Structure 1
Amino acid sequence: MPSLNMRRSWRSVRRLRLGMPLRSVLSSLPPPKKIPRTIENTRELDETVCRPDDEELFAGNDADEFSSILKYGHTPKVLITTCRYNSTRGPAFISELLSVIPNAHYYKRGTYDLKKIVEYANNNDFSSIIVVHTNRREPDALLIIGLPDGPTAHFKLSRLVLRKDIKNHGNPTSHEPELVLNNFTTRLGHRVGRLIQSLFPQNPDFHGRRVVTFHNQRDFIFFRHHRYIFETKATKQTDSKSKKTKDVTDENISQEKVIARLQECGPRFTLKLISLQHGTFDSKGGEYEWVHKPEMDTSRRRFFL
């Protein structure tokens, strides 16, 4: 049975053939479907949004601090440590980070200063340092330092869910994961995305079916860790040979169908950029590229990543 919109369109064509005015024909047509207004599609205009034909951006990619890993294919080597006063959930979170990031090594912080750790990492060919900061027995911040020339990104960490707390979670394998970065559209977001990309190898092993996702939405970076699962499901199809006779029984024909789904491996957390600093970590004389300030939050439609 034709729908109401199809009836209206047929009537309008019929009226147009009969010589009725175009205005009356257009008034009988259904109105166009409206696009809902969201915060994302009504965001404030930002001049720093990257464009596909931006030659200056691509030229900067060839000369930035991450080009040795992303362009020349060097295997990253990551050092993971904690703050001086560690908590109970800190080691559990670090052990899961070690399973997410390939070629990552954990070193106990002790009483060493962070500048001494940076010097040690440079002497031992590490490409990045991740410092897990804890407060009140809960990890609340991440400090990612690119080596040897920086930059240093300070993130606020929230909504941490460990693997054991995720329902029907899976155990990750040792294969190198596939990295997915979403919605890093501005110059600042592009730089943060390349910093995150420098933590992972650039030749993923697709046989392992591991996927690591950093999804940016409204300047909140959501981290997820999944793996593909291919299952074979048997479906039954009813084939009735004769519908007129009641004595004829239906035959159930079983068919196999391959279904793909995602299984979360954990952990699950959210990051928010606090500051981006030139060079390695220097709390006193460091030069900052970008710092989040309270007056930046006056508009809900202003995003920086």
Structure 2
Amino acid sequence: MLRRNVRLRREYLYRKSLEGKERLLYEKKRKIKQALEEGKPIPTELRNEDAALRQEIDLEDERTAVPRSTIDDEYANANERDPKILIITSRNPSAPLTQFAKELTLVFPNSQRMNRGSQVITDIVETCRSHDFTDLIRVAEHRGVPDELVISHLPFGPTAYFQILNVVTRHDNKDKKEMGTVSQAYPHLIFESFSSKIGQRTATILKHLFPVPKADTKRIITFANQSDYISFRHHVYRQSGGPKSIDLKEVGPRFELRLYQIKLGTMDQEEAQNEFVLHSYMNTSKKQKVLGE
């Protein structure tokens, strides 16, 4: 089993390495097409490759005209079955972290929480693979305050690392009596301002934690990005009065996420290549937003 996982992982990384080359070739062919359509001379840097590129353009069809991303490989089977998620904490969790992990099992359908004990991450990841889990989520804390959320897609990745801020659990909310019980219906998802390439990548990682909802579901989960801080909100609604009048009720928990790293591997693979790392120089008002406006 270990040798098979190593082989499959190696094949996946090889496909990922080809993605950059395919994108470069796609850009060259796009420039050739644009020059031909506009009746302009072929760009000087492409004249030596002009004949070969035109031949490839002639052989393209709808399927091969646009390079295929390895994201398609990572989530190729996502629509065939519902997600199955395991939620763990760091070792010796405090009561607030344990409560937060419990509430996350209410947020993510088909998820279950496991007391980690003395188990190491490598063994947990292998157990998840053997039991067909699609994702592993780990929450960590600093001095009793949840401060990190890690989402690792299985079997090969990616793994996204988020900082958690401003956590308000259902347990700590002063209006928890008005919240009622959490609906078990699959929620509709709202993603706001994930327009950049990394933003779309982040939205892909988050949305595949949820199954496809029914059309009449009255449960909504929102991920709203503002200045690279993602606000998580959880609501239910019901019609009141006319057909265009609804009552919206927050059911919690609520928190903010800040993406700081994406790795092309699972949680146990420290040597995995970084796809994205948040650098300190990005955190200025004049810098371009990472996730989008």
What TM-score, normalized by structure 2, do the two folds share?
0.71
Deviations 1:29-75 (A, max 9, x none): xxxxxxxxxxxxxxxxxxxxxxxxxx747x42772312211xx3321
Larger % of strand: which? Answer: 1
**Counterpart of 2:198 in 1: which secondary structure?**
helix
The answer (yes or no) to whether the contact 1:99–1:172 under 8 Å persists in 2 is: yes
Structure 2 counterpart of 1:223, one-letter code: F
Instruction: Sort the Cα spacing of 1:61 and 1:211 in 2 relative to 1 into closer, same or farther, 3 A.
Output: farther
SS at match of 2:91: coil
- Tell me which amino acid in the other structure corresponds to 2:265: G
Higher relative contact order (Cα pairs below 8 Å, separated by 6+ residues): 1
What's 2:195 paired with? 185
Structure 2 counterpart of 1:66 = 75
2:126 is the alignment partner of 1:119: yes
Instruction: Call closer, same or farther: CA 1:61–1:87 in 2, change over 3 Å.
Output: same
Unpaired segments ≥5 residues, structure 1: 1-54, 233-255
Q: 1:216 aligns with which of 218, 225, 236?
A: 225
1:259-299: per-residue Cα shift (whole Å, max 9, x none)? 31210010000000111001112464221111111122244
Shift of 1:206: 4.0
After the TM superposition, which residues 96-111 of structure 1 pair with which residues of structure 2 at under 5 Å, given as runs?
A: 96-111=103-118
Matched residue type, 1:210: R
Q: Equivalent of 1:148, from 145, 155, 180?
A: 155
Aligned residue number for residue 135 of structure 1? 142
Identity, % of aligned positions: 34
Letter in 2 for 1:189: G
1:184 maps to a residue whose letter is F
Paired amino acid for 1:213:
T
Say if 1:283 and 1:200 are closer, same or farther in 2 by CA, change over 3 A: same
Describe the SS at the equivalent of 2:97. Answer: helix
CA RMSD of aligned residues (A): 2.0
Q: Distance in 2 between matches of 1:101 and 1:269?
A: 15
* Structure 1 residues 95 and 74, CA gap change in structure 2 (3 angstroms): same
Structure with more of its chain in helix, by fraction: 2
Preserved contact between residue 172 and residue 210 of structure 1 (Cα < 8 Å): no
Which of 262, 277, 286 is 1:291 aligned to? Answer: 277
Residue 245 of structure 2 is matched in structure 1 by 259
Tell me how far apart the structure 2 counterparts of residues 163 and 142 of structure 1 sit (CA, whole Å): 18
Distance in 1, Cα, partners of 2:284 & 2:227: 14
In 1, Cα distance between equivalents of 2:191 and 2:244: 28
Q: Is the 8 A contact 2:186 2:219 kept in 1?
A: yes
User: How many angstroms apart in 1 are the aligned matches of 2:145 and 2:269?
Assistant: 23
Equivalent AA in structure 2 for residue 124 of structure 1: H
**Residue type matched to 1:68 in 2?**
N
- Structure 1's consecutive aligned runs of 4 or more residues displaced over 4 angstroms after TM superposition are none
